[in-house]
Amino acid sequence: MDNESQYSGYSYKSSHSRSSRKHRDRRDRHRSKSRDSSSRGDKSVTIQTPGEPLLDAESTRGDDRDDNWGETTTVVTGTSEHSISNEDLTRVTKDLEESTPLECKRFIGPALGGCLSFFALVTPLAFLILPQVLWRDALEPCGTPCEGLYVSLAFKLLVLLISSWALFLRSPRATLPRFFVFRCLLMVLVFLFVASYWLFYGVRVLEPRERDYRGIVEYAASLVDALLFIQYLALVLLEVRHMQPAFCLKVVRSTDGASKFYNVGHLSIQRAAVWVLDRYYSDFTVYNPALLNLPKSILSKKMTGFKVYSLDESTTNNSTGQSRAMIAAAARRRDNSHNEYYYEEAEMDRRIRKRKARLVVAVEEAFTHIKRLHEDEAASSPKHPREVMDPREAAQAIFAPMARAMQKYLRTTRQQAFHSMESILTHLQFCITHNMTPKAFLERYLGPGPTMQYQQQGGRGRQWTLVSEEPVTSALRQGLVFSLRRLDFSLVVTVTSLPFLRLGEEFIDPKSHKFVMRLQSETSV
């Protein structure tokens, strides 16, 4: 609950009920949205990637939140850091409910693959051991060639094991809506191979109790060879084929138009979507809904429409004529809102620059108050007993003078939703520990960083919806458009193929670089 400490960051006045009601509304809206999309008929399927749904659900509430912690923080008491208000509690519970539940579906694929590969690796050993166990006396002894085969078998199995570990043993980072075609193909292939080998083994070796042990060892060696080749196929299909660039993807965020171009190879739509989302988190600046709207003062001067009266009695086909007339009249009327927009922008720039200057000066001054204590200094100055602090305390000590300037700057640039006071203190502590300058400390706040910077680790997953008109396992091709939707914005991806390059050759002899002066002579005759 709220107490009177200076550090309770969210000391609301009377808005507990308001915030919790808002949480409930948001959750309901989210659920009804997903129901709508599935009934609409276009193929919208779900991609879940790890992460946490933290900020985008909250950031639209940023204006309401009371950020007066800068004004109330005067004295560092150090005793009341762990106060948590009601709002924190509701926020935490909402997070837990909204994040995607841990689905078993995520682990079925890797589990199946793991079983299959274990089975495949154990099979050659089983082929070798079973005859020894079952009919050892009847086997023909097999000397040096068998030993050579044993050694090669052992090494090939070792190589298979190590490369499987290196390539395939990774925790999955995304669940795709449809089956990953190549992976399924490979698993089916491995299964068929191993099954057919077992079949032949059962019929030809176990039944008649084959006595030629060398043949059995060669049979097992051929299985291991086949597995190595399948692994080569897997490497090519899963890892190598999509490395060579073939398409250029243009990714545009629907809300503010931030766009990037990427070169990808031959991928299916769902794999390309995962690829794009990987890049989205580190390349795109964070989505700030507070920056989208024009200031209300400009848009409120709407032109009042006027009514059009038709004098004749017929009422057919009047609506298009009416609207066209209104649009024409509106275009002719003088509109000064662009003027106001221009001046508003200039004023906003000036304000931001002023606040930034104040912030920079405040931070620089704050950083001059502390300095790092070296080992030898501690012992050699007993007459100046200075209080020795750990980084956390040092951060708290110098935070107070810069807090107000920081809060004002964040509010002007509409970033206050992304940085809580706690996060600023943690960052300050981090910078002090690593001997960073004030400029390095401020780098995080002076510009919008990539979305990854604002994520919190250890979440359950980020829900993205892939909306496309084609089946999502089809390959990319020229002119395809699909979009990746989240709750309040979407990324529209357009595919164009890279142009075919016709490279010609021209040889220039280094001795052929010769020059003459331009002539303009005048002769008198």
CB 266 within 8 A of CB 238: no
Rounded to whole angstroms, what are the CA distances from 515 to 39, 507, 512? 74, 19, 9
**Which residue's CB is nearer to another protein, number 293 or number 523?**
523
Give yes or no for residue 524 binding another protein (CB under 8 A): yes
Q: CB under 8 Å to 453, separation ≥6 — which residues?
A: 286, 444
CB 361 within 8 A of CB 354: no
Subset of residues 69 to 108 that bind another protein, contact rule: CB under 8 A: none
Give yes or no for residue 133 binding another protein (CB under 8 A): no
Residues 90, 41: Cα–Cα separation, whole Å = 36
**Which residue's CB is nearer to another protein, number 171 or number 523?**
523
**Which residue's CB is nearer to another protein, number 133 or number 519?**
519
Give yes or no for residue 525 binding another protein (CB under 8 A): yes
Please, what is the minimum distance in Å from the beta carbon of residue 469 to another protein?
Answer: 57
Determine the interface stretch with another protein among 358-366, 424-432, 489-497, 516-524 (rule: CB under 8 A): 516-524
Please, what is the minimum distance in Å from the beta carbon of residue 495 to another protein?
Answer: 48
**Which residue's CB is nearer to another protein, number 14 or number 524?**
524
CB 443 within 8 A of CB 437: no
Tokens found for residue 426: 């943690």
H or E element, residue 11: none
**Which residue's CB is nearer to another protein, number 170 or number 514?**
514
CB 255 within 8 A of CB 491: no
Task: Enumerate the H helices of 248-311 as residue ranges.
Answer: 269-283, 296-299
Please, what is the minimum distance in Å from the beta carbon of residue 521 to another protein?
Answer: 6
CB 287 within 8 A of CB 256: yes
**Which residue's CB is nearer to another protein, number 379 or number 525?**
525
Query: Which residue among 171, 304, 320, 521 contacts another protein (CB under 8 A)?
Result: 521
Give yes or no for residue 518 binding another protein (CB under 8 A): yes
Q: What's the order of all strands across the beta sheet hosting 462-468?
A: 43-49, 462-468, 481-485, 490-497, 247-253, 259-264
**Which residue's CB is nearer to another protein, number 314 or number 520?**
520
- Which residues lie across from 495 on neighbouring strands? 249
Determine the interface stretch with another protein among 220-228, 234-242, 423-431, 514-522 (rule: CB under 8 A): 514-522
Determine the interface stretch with another protein among 39-47, 159-167, 349-357, 513-521 (rule: CB under 8 A): 513-521
Give yes or no for residue 311 binding another protein (CB under 8 A): no
Residues 477, 495: Cα–Cα separation, whole Å = 7
Binding to another protein by CB under 8 A, coded x per residue (else -) over 460-499, reads ----------------------------------------
- Give CB contacts under 8 A, 24+ apart, made by 160-165: 160/121, 160/224, 160/227, 160/228, 160/231, 161/121, 163/231, 164/117, 164/121, 164/231
CB 189 within 8 A of CB 276: no
Give yes or no for residue 522 binding another protein (CB under 8 A): yes
Please, what is the minimum distance in Å from the beta carbon of residue 300 to another protein?
Answer: 60
**Which residue's CB is nearer to another protein, number 317 or number 524?**
524
Please, what is the minimum distance in Å from the beta carbon of residue 512 to another protein?
Answer: 21
Residues 88, 388: Cα–Cα separation, whole Å = 33
Give yes or no for residue 519 binding another protein (CB under 8 A): yes
Determine the interface stretch with another protein among 72-80, 181-189, 351-359, 517-525 (rule: CB under 8 A): 517-525
- Which residues lie across from 497 on neighbouring strands? 247
Residues engaged in binding another protein (CB under 8 A): 518-525
